[in-house]
A and B are shown apart, each in its own frame.
Chain A
Amino acid sequence: MTSTLLNEFTAHALHDMLIKGEISSLDIVQAVYRRIDEVEPEIRAFVTLTRDEALRQAMDADERIRRGEDVGPLTGIPVALKDNLCTRGIRTTCSSKILENFIPPYSATVVERLERCGAVIIGKTNLDEFAMGSSTENSGFFTTRNPWDLSRVPGGSSGGSAAAVAADETIVALGSDTGGSIRQPASYCGVVGLKPTYGTVSRYGLVAFASSLDQIGPLTKDVRDCAIVMNAIAGYDPCDSTSVDRQYPDYTTFLVPEVKGLRFGIPREYFGKGLDADVRSAIDNAIKTFEEMGAIPVEVSLPHSEYALATYYLVAPAEASSNLARYDGVKYGYRAQGQPDSVTMTRRTRREGFGAEVKRRIMLGTYALSSGYYDAYYLKALKVRTLLVRDFEAAFEKCDFILSPTSPTVAFKIGEKIDDPLSMYLTDIYTITANLVAVPGISIPCGFGRDEMPVGLQLLGKHFDEGTIIRAAYAFEQATGGAGIRPGLKGRRPESKCGDRGNDGNGGRGSVGGGTCYE
């Protein structure tokens, strides 16, 4: 206990201590903010911190625990929220200048659910503006840095949430995933990230990027925490017509280290050109681990994979062009001042309020929906989407889940891809299809690649079968100790006592002490 700070623990470990009365929620929250004060100037994971309110919520949680009333696994546990999740009374910016001072009078359904559980909201995390990007470099405010190497991106768009979890600036976090925005940063930051089946988690209060693809999901330090957060956020919501009214399981019941006889599909299209050798070798090791555990590898084919990226970049921008039309300076958010009339005002507001990538996608989407182009682009994309769904249906006849890398590379350097949108888009090549076909996907750490950067393993499941991928992920984590290593903030200021940790890259168990070097 003495060598490990409270902010470094998992939610379930903290819960055990809370229940026993060994610690208080206030202790945890204070530890989290101490860590934030210490490393945030360099990580820059948060857009807004909610310290006062968090301390109040922590005391409420402690009261709840003291009375033994309605205490759940997230009672008193710090949660960071991606800043595209609306929070009543707390500004919600989407990391965009156009919403820089927007304070919603309502909370997202997931936020309400977490608050009902007694979770403590500690702040709002940075993202690529309106979740459009893979590195947080498109944030309208600043770029978040990867806790494993401060010269690298944390991935995106949920880069702030992933970095905050990895750097122990929070215990758990929520992100949103439209084309890989939870899984890719989870992979780059060495944490666990799950994108649920479309319709599992209410989108009410999630500021829409691409409505038919967006899903909210957890970013956590281990698979158990992931299941715990899923229990809190999954469920039908009458306020979201696309949320599915069905029985959702207790996801912690899938936390069994047993995959014997499970068939895992290896899509041959995901192991071709563009996949870095270091990532490939980490994934090959993971495949071996699964085989050793008694799971059965099956080669599967997803023949339309090569069209997924193009399909995504028609569907998502088309929806975005419409979703983002509401930011016109009329009702809320940024307004260009001193304009002669409302038409000019709206035009200038959008010109000044949106960043380059957002404008690029609005233009792409507007074009794809324009009369004369709709059939050739948008409609065709919908048809390819159907073909992709069939690919997965066929593959899932042969296997129980699909295994692949989360991203073809480890985290890249800040500035490396920002001027080359296409190469940036390619970092989501393995994650994007899950959104198009609505299946769940989890990314878990599976060792290290080049420059000791973490590699993520992606497991994709059948619709609403989060259970199987949670089970497989848990078994893998138990076998490898995946979540054990803490990042070292390589490249930190010279006064940092942190040196190279010399980990062997596949995650020696129990070296939680990595974080203690900041004490």
Chain B
Amino acid sequence: MSSNLSGSSDLIGSGNLSGSGNLRSSINTSARESEGHREYEEYEVIIGLEVHAELLTDSKIFCGCSTKFGAAPNSHVCPICLGMPGVLPVVNRKAVEFAIRTGLALNCEIAEFSKFDRKNYFYPDLPKNYQISQYDLPLCRNGYIDIPADTSVLSGGPDDSPGGRPGEKGSCTGAGIQAGRGPVRRIRIKRVHLEEEAGKSIHEGQNIVESSFSLEDYNRAGIPLMEIVSEPDIRSPREAYVYLSTLRAILQYIGVSDCKMEEGSLRCDANISVRPRGSTRYGAQTELKNLNSFRAVEKGLAFEAARQIDALRRGERVVRETRHWDEARGITVPMRSKEEAHDYRYFPEPDLVPMVIEREWVERIREELPELPGARKERLMKEYGLPEYDAGLITESRAMADFFEACARNYRDPKIVSNWVMGELSRLLNESGKDISEVPVTPGGLADMLKLIDEGVISGKIAKAVFEEMFSTGKAAREIVKEKGLVQIADEGQLLNIIDQVIAENPGPVADVAAGKDKAITFLVGQVMRKTQGRANPQLATRLLRERLQEGR
């Protein structure tokens, strides 16, 4: 992300977070959370996230089965991923490469020697009743990503230095992405390791113990999974949200994961504790599960922070436990300890030989790394003159940024392109729940449409309708305009006829205009637009209307 942070510092400069970067949602989403704000003045919230991301390999991590999502249950399985007797795993080289690529994008050290271990626990969706994972020698460790700090929780004391490295504050110099735009928090990445997915259980009852039967789908079992563990450097639920979206953008950019939380290809568990500001000891932490969306991560943590602070205030102790985020009720509840108490009995996986990661390979992977979101944001600002907000939003998704750039290269004003991409395109994508790769509209198509506006063929208003049509059919703007007769009326004579009708029909507003109430003119232009189904050139219509009214006086 940031390329130039002096002194590897955490909090740089000052300013307010709001409106900067990719923070779209308001912090004050509930009374609880806003209450939490005051509390943050007395208490410090310490958060670490464990993120699981499924890798976009074609085949599973230890066998040749497909990783495609959405197939009929138990159709992408074989003796190996079903853990049948006598079968052996063979590591998917691509999965290792993806983990290394991730490590490099997260500024990690890449292990020269790494191995797999077995994590032993019984669960019906775990075919072998052990998970092949990595324990003490993960592929990547000691990385970081920088995010804009949540200034609402900064008190300025040395304890705000994340990662327990007080006194390393520096000021921002040079061209780091956050230069002069607000403080940065460096979230250290403890480790990135590779493991296999489990299958999926559907319990007939509330949970495994209370169900008379459970159904198992092993299609997911053996899909390569990457665990990315942060240090407890996150200082607010908001920062957790930002960290997560930054991480997601990076993983999507480097093409290792599609990070779809709704399909479970990105999952997040959070560890959270609170302590009185100024204290250097960590409080008892709880682990939050069932955080099924970015919003849930933020809301669950906000609830949990407030709950822990409340407890401390009342003089109670926070119990170290795993808690379940109940989305519907908006609270966290303790999880059954029966399903939790585990001694995983890790030991080296004897079916796989340790991996020696050749440096030449790592360097090759590094050279092939694409431009990361932070650098791209910086470039979009420099190259296209985009405001930071636009650049941040557009670069959140690689596909979106690609779309923007392809379009902006073919159009005179990048800011207008940016408005359309962030506005109409994003809106339509959100409404349809589709990915940009799934819709037929092209960057070139958008550029052509924008040119039609410039040429005065269509109005901006009509353009929205045209774009909607392009979005769903992929047809060229010109074609749509022609087919539907949407060409703008720029003929003065034709427009004057309509204007005369409008003046005749609206004596009241006409009188208002005469009385100096200029606002009424907008109403009259609106009536012209209505009569022409939006096809009137608004500038022309306004000018003609004014002239007519002046004439009539």
A322 and B120 in contact, given A212-B350, A341-B211 (Cβ under 8 angstroms): yes
Q: Which residues of A contact B213 (CB under 8 A)?
A: 342
The CA-CA distance from A86 to B86 in the complex, in Å, is 7
Chain A residue contacts of B351, Cβ below 8 A: 208, 211, 241-242
Q: Is B416 an interface residue (CB 8 A)?
A: no
A241 touching B88, Cβ below 8 Å = yes
**Chain B residues with CB under 8 A of A106:** 79, 84, 87
Extra pairs beyond A104-B85, A341-B212 (16, CB < 8 Å): A85-B86, A86-B86, A108-B86, A203-B86, A204-B86, A205-B87, A208-B85, A212-B350, A240-B90, A241-B91, A327-B85, A328-B124, A328-B129, A331-B82, A370-B345, A374-B347
For B116, the closest partner residue in chain A by CB is: A241
List residues 290-328 of chain A with CB under 8 A from any CB of chain B.
318-319, 321-322, 325-328
Chain A positions within 8 Å of B, measured between CB atoms, are 84-86, 92, 94, 99, 102, 104-106, 108, 203-208, 210-212, 238-242, 318-319, 321-322, 325-328, 330-332, 340-343, 346, 366, 369-371, 374, 378
**Across the interface, do A92 and B345 meet the contact criterion of CB distance under 8 Å?**
no
- The reply to whether A104 and B79 form a contact with Cβ atoms under 8 Å apart is yes
Contact A341 B208 (CB under 8 A): yes
On chain B, the residues within 8 Å of A92 by CB distance are 85-86
Across the interface, B120 reaches (CB within 8 A) one of A94, A325, A340, namely: A325
A404 to B404, CA, bound (A): 77
0 or 1 for each of B179-215: is its CB under 8 Å from A? (1 = yes): 0000000000000000000000000000011111110
CB-CB < 8 A to A208: which residues of B?
Answer: 85-86, 351
Q: How far is the CA of A346 from the CA of B127 in the complex (A)?
A: 13
Chain A residues positioned under 8 Å from B350 (CB to CB):
210-212, 242, 319
A241 touches B209 (CB 8 A): no
Which residues in A have their C-beta under 8 angstroms from that of B127? Answer: 326, 331
- The SS class assigned to the A binding surface is loop
- Least CB separation from B83: chain A residue: A326
A322 touches B118 (CB 8 A): yes
Nearest Cβ on chain B to A119's Cβ, whole angstroms: 19
Which single member of A102, A242, A330 contacts B85 (CB below 8 Å)? A102
B122 CB contact (under 8 Å) in A99, A205, A210, A346: A346
Q: How far is the CA of A378 from the CA of B345 in the complex (A)?
A: 11
Q: B465 contacts the other chain (Cβ, under 8 Å)? A: no
Query: Within the assembled complex, what's the spacing in Å between the Cα atoms of A385 and B84?
Result: 29
Chain A residue contacts of B212, Cβ below 8 A: 340-341
Q: Give the nearest-CB partner of A199 in chain B.
A: B353
List residues of B (59-103) whose CB comes within 8 Å of A's CBs.
79, 82-91
Q: Does any Cβ of A come within 8 Å of B352's Cβ? A: yes
- Listed from nearest, the 8 A-B pairs whose CB atoms lie closest are A325-B129, A211-B350, A369-B345, A212-B350, A207-B85, A207-B86, A205-B86, A326-B128
Does the CB pair A104–B347 fall under 8 Å? no
CB of A302 to closest CB in B, whole Å: 24
Docked Cα-Cα span, A340 to B211, in Å, equals 8
Q: Is the CB of A239 within 8 A of B85?
A: no
Whether B403 is near chain A, meaning CB under 8 Å from some CB there, is no
* B contact residues around A85 at 8 Å (CB): 86
Question: Counting CB contacts under 8 A, is B241 at the interface?
Answer: no
Q: How far is the CA of A343 from the CA of B212 in the complex (A)?
A: 10
- The CA of A242 and the CA of B79, in the complex, are separated in Å by 19
Residues of B within 8 A of A (CB): 79, 82-91, 118, 120, 122, 124, 127-130, 208-214, 216, 343, 345-347, 350-353
Residues of A within 8 A of B129 (CB): 325-326, 328
Complex Cα–Cα for A326 and B90 (A): 18
Kindly list chain B residues whose C-beta atoms are within 8 Å of the C-beta of A318: 347
**CB pair A203 B88 closer than 8 Å:** yes
* Residue with the highest number of chain B CB atoms closer than 10 Å, among A92, A102, A332, A342: A342
Q: Please state if B85 and A325 are interface contacts (CB–CB under 8 Å).
A: no
Q: Check A322/B85 contact, CB under 8 A, given A241-B352, A328-B122.
A: no
CA distance A2 to B475 in the complex (A): 90
Task: Give the contacting residue for B345; candidates A203, A327, A371; CB below 8 A.
Answer: A371
Given the complex of chains A and B, what is the CA–CA distance between A131 and B130 in angstroms? 21
> Which residues of B are found within 8 Å of A369, using beta-carbon distances?
120, 345-347
CA–CA, A346 and B82, complex, Å: 17
Contact pick for B347, options A105, A206, A322, CB 8 Å: A322
Q: Are A239 and B88 touching (Cβ within 8 A)?
A: yes
Minimum CB–CB distance for B54 against chain A, Å: 22
Q: List 25 A-B contacts (CB under 8 A).
A: A84-B86, A86-B85, A94-B85, A104-B79, A105-B84, A106-B87, A203-B86, A204-B86, A206-B86, A211-B350, A239-B90, A240-B90, A242-B352, A325-B122, A325-B130, A328-B129, A331-B82, A332-B84, A341-B210, A343-B209, A369-B345, A369-B346, A370-B343, A374-B345, A374-B346
**Contact yes or no, B86 A104, CB < 8 A:** yes
Q: A378 with B347: in contact, given A326-B127, A328-B124, A343-B208 (CB under 8 Å)?
A: yes
Report the minimum CB–CB distance from A295 to chain B (whole Å): 36
Among A99, A208, A318, the most chain B Cβ lie within 10 Å of the Cβ of A208
Query: Bound complex: CA of A330 vs CA of B84, how far in Å?
Result: 11
Q: Which residue of A lies closest to B345 (CB)?
A: A369
| Complex: chain B residue closest to A208, CB-CB | B86
A104 surroundings in chain B (CB, below 8 A): 79, 84-86
Q: Which residues of A contact B91 (CB under 8 A)?
A: 241
User: Are the C-beta atoms of B124 and A330 separated by less than 8 Å?
Assistant: yes
Contacts of A371 in B (CB 8 A): 343, 345
A193 to nearest B CB, angstroms? 21
Q: Which residues on A sit within 8 Å (CB–CB) of B89?
A: 241
Residues of A within 8 A of B87 (CB): 106, 204-205
Residues of B within 8 A of A239 (CB): 88, 90
Chain A residues with Cβ under 8 A from B86's Cβ? 84-86, 92, 104, 108, 203-208
List A contacts of B118 (CB < 8 A).
Answer: 322
Complex Cα–Cα for A327 and B124 (A) = 11
The distance from the CB of A378 to the nearest CB of chain B, in whole angstroms, is: 6
Partner of B208, one of A108, A207, A321, A342: A342
What chain A residues lie within 8 Å of B122 (beta carbons)?
325, 328, 346
In the complex, the answer to whether B124 meets A342 with C-beta atoms within 8 Å is yes
Does B209 lie within 8 Å of A341, measured CB to CB? yes
Q: A104-B84, A211-B350, A318-B347 are in contact. Are A238 and B124 (CB under 8 A)?
A: no
Shortest beta-carbon distance from A100 to chain B in Å: 13
CA distance A94 to B83 in the complex (A): 16
In this complex, the member of B83, B210, B345, B352 whose beta carbon has the largest number of chain A beta carbons within 10 angstroms is B345
**Roughly how many angstroms separate A325 CA and B123 CA in the complex, as a whole number?**
10
Q: Chain A residues with Cβ under 8 A from B345's Cβ?
A: 321-322, 366, 369-371, 374
Which residue from B84, B88, B128, B130 sits with its C-beta under 8 Å from A240?
B88
Name the B residues within 8 Å of A99 (CB-CB).
85
Chain B residue numbers with a CB within 8 Å of A242 are: 88, 350-353
Q: Chain B contacts of A370 at CB under 8 A?
A: 343, 345
